[in-house]
A and B are shown apart, each in its own frame.
Chain A
Amino acid sequence: MKKIRTDLEIRKSNKEVLRLAAYVQKITKKSAQIKEEGK
């Protein structure tokens, strides 16, 4: 083994907030739909 490559991993908060917000949006929408259907 001549060399070992290391990977740098950095927290990407912008990407993180986008994917979390996507779940919030979808679940909020679904909850509203369930509430509406329940009326």
Chain B
Amino acid sequence: MNYQEFKDYIVKHMKDYLSEKYQDANVEITEVRKNNNLKLDGLTILLPEENVCPTIYMNSFYEEFEAGRSMEEILEKIAEIRDVHDVQKNLSVKDFLNIEKTKDNIIFRVVGAKENESRLSDMPHRLENDMAIIYQIMAEKAGDGIATAQITNQMMERLGVDERKLYEVALENTQREFPATFRPMSEVIKEIMRSDFMGINLNTLSDDDDMKPFLEALLQEGMEEMQEERLPLFVLSNDRGINGAAALFYPDMKEQIARQMNGDYFVLPSSIHEVLIVPDNGDADYQELKDMVNEVNQTQVAPDEVLTGEVYSYDRESRRLMLAGEKAEKVHGTEKAEDKKASIIDTLKAKKDEVVHSSVNNKMKVNKMKTAEREI
């Protein structure tokens, strides 16, 4: 069964797996543009009286089908998701776009600006270097997940607010609903290993993948290699681990990290869900870190979860987060200016020495002349 046939089958047989209340629902699959302009196929099961409904993406289910999961299991799972996330009960578009009713549920997240350029033209946002803060309305927060609707320019207009107002309410709500977590990498991996890691089937990784022996070693030898003092790497996210990179833009967060790091630091955008913090002790080369980010983005990060391919640097003196390349240029520029200053000082000193020397010579000449005069 190819992908098109798979989608047709889902649409045709979906209602057989749904409860009675969904028998009049409209079942359709439409193309949806997701983060980083990724196009996915979203299934919606919309009841006649509803106009807000969850989207269930078919692409990952097709991967599961190809990996051997039966159509029956897949349809059962989709029906379960739709039922569990039937959050839009009694929720109309009118209510959803009433700022008084929805203002406590407006949150923000962060995405890459370059990869989302065309999407950003249709949604309120603000830029932070090459990242963009965008806004969502949270319809549900339950279990391990959240259900959100992206705020477009049209929706903002209907809400009757501007981007500044969205930012103001989202800042407060996001911090409250998704408190930041800042922990050593060793602690984060230990926690995931305790919960889900054992579920990873290492056999699904290719033998050529050098992650395989590394993960095997992690499982066998534990985390000795990952002690904090040996690996100064920290993870900034939120308590849900979803869209946690946004925590970087919570008020005073960057400065709080600087205090903890006791100086400047690098920010590696490991995904939209978290960023990594590396203290800038002068050992790390930003270009090497950037290459690392790009390699991990290409090999281990889902395309719609990539944040950016840059490395950022927090400069404590100016209290600014900037592209690490920009900071390196600034430092290089300062060094050059220092060199130039030094070279001007050297030139002046040389001139001075020359003048002093010539003045001494002249004095000697004058003295010689005086002596000669006396001799005459």
Asked whether any CB of chain A lies closer than 8 Å to the CB of B323, the reply is no
Q: Are B144 and A10 in contact (CB under 8 A)?
A: yes
Q: Are A26 and B295 in contact (CB under 8 A)?
A: yes
Contact bitstring A13-34, B, C-beta under 8 A = 1, else 0: 1111111111111111011001
Dominant SS among interface residues on chain B: mixed
Interface size on B, residues (CB 8 A): 74
Q: Are B214 and A14 in contact (CB under 8 A)?
A: no
Q: A1-B93, A22-B300 are in contact. Are A6 and B241 (CB under 8 A)?
A: no
Measured between C-beta atoms, what is the minimum distance from B73 to chain A in Å?
18
CB < 8 Å neighbour of B211 from A3, A14, A21: A21
Dominant SS among interface residues on chain A: helix
A4 to B304, CA, bound (A): 21
Measured between C-beta atoms, what is the minimum distance from A25 to chain B in Å?
5
Asked whether any CB of chain B lies closer than 8 Å to the CB of A9, the reply is yes
Measured between C-beta atoms, what is the minimum distance from A23 to chain B in Å?
6
Q: Are B211 and A22 in contact (CB under 8 A)?
A: yes
In the complex, residue of chain A having the shortest beta-carbon distance to the beta carbon of B273: A16
Q: Are B296 and A26 in contact (CB under 8 A)?
A: yes
Q: A5-B44, A8-B81 are in contact. Are A19 and B296 (CB under 8 A)?
A: yes
Q: Are B214 and A21 in contact (CB under 8 A)?
A: yes
Q: Are A7 and B231 in contact (CB under 8 A)?
A: no
Q: Are A17 and B231 in contact (CB under 8 A)?
A: no
Which residues of B from 238 to 290 have beta carbons under 8 Å from A?
A: 240-243, 268, 270-271, 273-274, 276, 278, 283, 288
Q: A6-B149, A17-B192 are in contact. Are A31 and B52 (CB under 8 A)?
A: no
Residues of B within 8 A of A6 (CB): 52-55, 87-88, 139-140, 147-149
Which residues of B from 67 to 111 have beta carbons under 8 Å from A?
A: 81, 85, 87-88, 93, 96-97
30 A–B contacts, CB within 8 A, in A order? A2-B51, A3-B46, A3-B51, A3-B53, A3-B93, A5-B32, A5-B53, A7-B149, A9-B147, A9-B243, A10-B242, A11-B273, A13-B241, A14-B196, A15-B301, A15-B302, A16-B241, A16-B271, A16-B273, A17-B192, A17-B196, A18-B215, A18-B300, A22-B296, A22-B299, A25-B211, A26-B296, A27-B278, A28-B231, A31-B231
- Residues of B at the A interface (CB closer than 8 Å) are 32, 34, 42, 44, 46, 50-56, 81, 85, 87-88, 93, 96-97, 139-140, 143-150, 154-155, 158, 185, 188-189, 192-193, 195-197, 199-200, 210-211, 214-215, 218, 225-226, 230-231, 233, 235, 240-243, 268, 270-271, 273-274, 276, 278, 283, 288, 292, 295-296, 299-302, 305
Closest 10 CB pairs of A and B: A13-B196, A10-B145, A19-B300, A3-B51, A11-B241, A17-B192, A6-B147, A22-B300, A4-B52, A25-B214
